[in-house]
């Protein structure tokens, strides 16, 4: 879609503008105040002028067609106005009015009318129930919030489903952090355009280099994937704060994986694989956008960080915060330590983090010398300077102002070095005599130790994602799997019988324990003789998902007598504990010795499709909840990363003299299951392989129990 009529309008009509300061009138005032150069047409039959501009009775009366119409009138009148806008040739609409999907059945009906207008006529609708769109460079503020001046044009685009957060994030970035913005978009109920559409526009926009998004819910996963692929191609970071991670209750599903993974986990997997920077708080988002906006001009090699502070306690805090965030603070070189010992007080201990001591505030020569050594230190790639930058009290000292001047003077001597400044905590207005000069010199100011370290980690991980060579070429569409086409024989509904389930898994190369179905005890004895003792007997029933829950497993049957006795005993117990279940006999399976028990499964989300789940399995899988997820297509590197993410990964590496597990075979099984999930993405509801035994290195993996449910 061409969003230019909405994002770069040449003329704007404002329906509902009046001589009172309403939401619509504020839009007119913002357009005038921020220097919009296009034509503005207030629309209201009650007035002849609004804020010094001619006011028109309706859209048909304007001297030229508007590119975009802003609507701030009672909700019941909005559909009629938008129909008139379409008839007049208007391409974009910002609906500030509330009273739609958030307002019961009548509102939902009104929103459905807007959705039809968008779908049938291509009307670019922002909203309803939103703040609107603000093109900062053009001053095109179809935006109803009261923004503080001055604006700071720049390269960061902000998209939010929440109007209040769009305003708060954007204004704070510009006013306190001196971060320049390209666009602010508050899209509200998303009756027409969605957050994904704006992301797709911004990653293509030449004036935007970094995108931040506050997301409550996604609606167009394919549009999002395409936007993320374009962002990777153009090396533009997308930073997402996704709310709604918790669920009051998880919807129980047939397979174990239904209880292990829900939509939040699947969305996180999509974001991770797309290279999106995922943050968990507004403070993290603001610090990360601030850093990424400045860091795009730099290319740190390993993102090793050297910290300079004048507070010994802060050095300890920063070391802890860096450790938690996974940020490397390398030891300083012997040459640097020796140089600093030459001018620091005798009681100082030069190390990283570097405590400049209280002498730094008393001797004006000390900070410039320390900073210069850190700039030249080859062991670090990023220099992080701890500054207190709250607005000083009247007549109070402000040493950070002197420090920032010294930093700015020194920067040209190391032009390739990324330098950041950070405060110890967030709180209060920032001293613009510190923050603004640093920002103008390319030094971002981050507001708290913890979020500063996280922002550095996020920036490092995003650069590593961009530099990966194992990713498929970015393309505008989701890559298709090369998996075999689904066979008609397994196009069934509900839980698959054992034979169909085994056939489907074998088609995708999944190693299965040899299994024979037995209708009665004699057949079970014959099957055991064929397989070789000892064997395991499992209940064969389409109505029983979890066999151990009803006593439907007997292991270690060492001879024919044991098999016969176990068969009868097992069926008797299952009949007692699951009297309504249909029993088809038993599955006889050769026992597999050793191996670590894992679970592989597929959970399907209605919007995002299937996700592959890997974790430590067995009967306590729900209690342990040690799992990782990816969405198809899944390559070998993704599969290896899934294994490494497990808390119990060390168990697979070998412990207490035990041989390491065959993690290469496990990774191969994950890739194969991803291919199956992709091939059956429209019909697979759930799949469990529990347990999958991972044998010693070189001996592969083997699935010993499975469950597949098709829609």
Domain boundaries, the chain: 4-243, 300-466, 514-590, 596-710
Q: pLDDT tens-digit profile of 478-503? A: 444 444 444 544 556 788 888 899 99
Q: Which fold does the domain 4-243 belong to in CATH?
A: Rossmann fold (3.40.50)
- Give the integer Cα–Cα distance in Å for 462 and 701: 33
DSSP secondary structure letter of residue 497: P
* pLDDT at residue 253 in the model: 34
Identify whether the C-beta of residue 498 lies closer than 8 Å to the C-beta of residue 490. Answer: no
Given a cut of 60, whether residue 240 has pLDDT beyond it is yes
Give one DSSP letter per residue of 368-425, joined into a string.
Answer: HHHHHHHHH-TT-SEEEEE---BPPPTT---HHHHHHHHHHHHGGGSTT-EEEEE-SS
pLDDT of residue 619: 60
Q: Is the pLDDT of residue 307 over 80?
A: yes
Nearest Cα residue to 82 out of 63, 102, 58, 106: 58
Class of domain 596-710: alpha beta
- Does the structure show a pLDDT above 60 at 679? yes
Rounded-to-integer distance, Cα 553 and Cα 546, Å: 10
Q: Which residue has 């990424």 as its token pair? A: 292
DSSP 549: G
Longest dimension (CA), the chain: 100
Contact 132, 124 (CB under 8 A): no
pLDDT for res 620: 56
Q: Which of 517, 510, 581, 519 is nearest to 545 (CA)?
A: 581
Q: Is the pLDDT of residue 621 over 80?
A: no
pLDDT above 90 as % of the chain: 80
Examine the pLDDT at 364 and tell me if it is beyond 60.
yes
Query: Cα-flanking dihedrals φ and ψ of residue 56, to 5°?
Result: -110, 150
Separation of alpha carbons 326 and 310, rounded Å: 23
Which stretches of 474-544 are assigned E, i.e. beta strand? 494-495, 515-518, 535-539
CA-based nearest residue to 629, from 265, 276, 246: 265
The owner of tokens 């016969």 is 564
DSSP H/E element including 68 = strand 68-71
Query: 263-273 and 221-233 are packed helices; what angle lies between their axes, rounded to 10 degrees?
Result: 30
Q: How far is it, in rounded angstroms, from Cα 699 to Cα 711?
A: 35
CATH (residue range 300-466)? 3.40.50.261
Alpha-carbon span 309 to 387, nearest angstrom: 7
Q: What is the pLDDT of residues 249-274, one digit of tens each?
A: 333 333 444 444 457 888 999 999 99
Looking at residue 490, its pLDDT comes to: 52
Q: What CATH number is given for 514-590 in this structure? A: 3.30.1490.20
State the Cα angle at 344 between 339 and 345, rounded to 5°. 145
Rounded mean pLDDT, 662-690: 95
Q: How many Cβ atoms are within 10 Å of 56's Cβ, its own excluded?
A: 21
Q: Which residues pair with 446 in a beta bridge?
A: 422
> Could you check whether 4-243 and 300-466 share the same CATH topology?
yes
Output the DSSP codes for 197-251: HHHHHHHH-TT-SEEEEEES--S-HHHHHHHHHHHHHTT--EEEEE-----SSPP
């Amino acid at each position: 879609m061409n969003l230019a009529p909405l994002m770069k309008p040449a003329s704007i009509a404002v329906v509902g503008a009046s001589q009172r300061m309403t939401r619509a009138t504020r839009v007119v005032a913002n357009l005038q105040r921020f220097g919009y150069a296009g034509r503005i047409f207030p629309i209201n039959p009650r007035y002849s002028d609004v804020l010094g501009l001619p006011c028109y009775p309706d859209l048909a009366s304007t001297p030229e067609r508007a590119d975009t119409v802003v609507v701030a009138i009672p909700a019941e009148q909005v559909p009629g106005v938008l129909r008139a806008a379409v008839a007049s040739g208007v391409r974009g609409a910002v609906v500030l009015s509330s009273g739609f999907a958030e307002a019961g059945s009548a509102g939902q009906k009104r929103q459905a009318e807007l959705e039809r207008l968008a779908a049938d006529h291509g009307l670019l609708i922002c909203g309803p129930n939103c703040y609107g769109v603000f093109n900062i460079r053009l001053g095109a503020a179809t935006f109803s919030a009261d923004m503080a001046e001055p604006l700071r044009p720049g390269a960061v685009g902000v998209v939010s489903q929440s109007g209040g957060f769009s305003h708060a994030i954007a204004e704070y970035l510009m006013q306190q952090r001196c971060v320049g913005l390209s666009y602010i978009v508050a899209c509200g109920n998303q009756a027409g355009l969605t957050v994904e559409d704006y992301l797709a526009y911004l990653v293509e926009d030449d004036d935007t280099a970094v995108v931040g998004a506050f997301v409550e819910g996604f609606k167009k996963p394919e549009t999002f994937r395409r936007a993320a692929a374009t962002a990777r191609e153009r090396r533009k970071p997308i930073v997402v704060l996704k709310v709604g991670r918790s669920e009051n209750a998880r919807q129980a599903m047939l397979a174990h994986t239904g209880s292990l993974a829900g939509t939040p986990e699947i969305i996180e997997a999509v974001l991770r694989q797309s290279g999106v920077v995922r943050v968990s708080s507004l403070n993290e988002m603001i610090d990360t956008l601030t850093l990424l906006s400045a860091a795009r001009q730099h290319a740190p090699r390993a993102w090793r960080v050297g910290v300079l502070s004048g507070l010994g306690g802060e050095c300890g805090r920063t070391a802890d915060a860096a450790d938690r965030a996974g940020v490397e603070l390398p030891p300083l070189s012997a040459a640097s330590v020796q140089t600093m010992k030459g001018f620091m007080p005798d009681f100082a201990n030069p190390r990283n983090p570097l405590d400049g001591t209280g002498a730094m505030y008393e001797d004006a020569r000390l900070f410039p010398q320390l900073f210069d050594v850190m700039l030249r230190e080859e062991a670090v790639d990023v220099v992080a300077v701890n500054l207190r930058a709250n607005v000083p009290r009247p007549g109070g000292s402000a040493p950070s102002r002197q420090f920032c001047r010294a930093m700015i003077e020194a920067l040209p001597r190391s032009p390739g070095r990324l330098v950041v400044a950070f405060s110890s905590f967030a709180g209060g207005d920032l001293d613009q005599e510190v923050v603004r000069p640093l920002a103008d010199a390319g030094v971002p100011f981050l507001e708290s130790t913890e979020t500063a370290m996280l922002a550095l980690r996020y920036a490092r991980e995003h650069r590593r994602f961009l530099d990966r060579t194992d990713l498929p070429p970015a393309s505008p569409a989701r890559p298709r799997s090369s998996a075999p086409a689904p066979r008609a024989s397994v196009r069934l509904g509900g839980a698959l019988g054992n034979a169909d389930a085994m056939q489907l898994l074998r088609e995708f190369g999944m190693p299965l324990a040899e299994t024979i179905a037995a209708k009665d005890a004699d057949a079970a004895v014959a099957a055991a003789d064929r397989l070789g003792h000892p064997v395991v007997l499992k209940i064969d029933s389409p109505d029983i998902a979890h066999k151990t829950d009803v006593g439907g497993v007997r292991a270690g049957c060492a001879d024919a007598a044991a098999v016969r006795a176990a068969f009868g005993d097992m069926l008797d117990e299952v009949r007692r504990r699951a009297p309504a279940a249909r029993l088809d006999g038993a599955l006889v399976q050769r026992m597999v010795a050793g191996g670590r028990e894992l679970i592989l499964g597929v959970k399907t989300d209605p919007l995002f499709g299937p996700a592959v789940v890997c974790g430590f399995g067995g009967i306590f899988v729900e209690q342990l909840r040690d799992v990782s997820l990816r969405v198809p297509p899944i390559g070998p590197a993704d599969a290896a990363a899934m294994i490494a993410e497990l808390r119990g990964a060390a168990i697979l590496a070998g412990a207490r003299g035990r041989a390491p597990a065959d993690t290469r075979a496990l990774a191969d099984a994950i890739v194969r299951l991803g291919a199956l999930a992709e091939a059956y993405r429209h019909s697979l509801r759930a799949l469990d392989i529990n347990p999958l035994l991972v044998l010693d290195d070189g001996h592969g993996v083997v699935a010993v129990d499975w469950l597949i449910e098709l829609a």
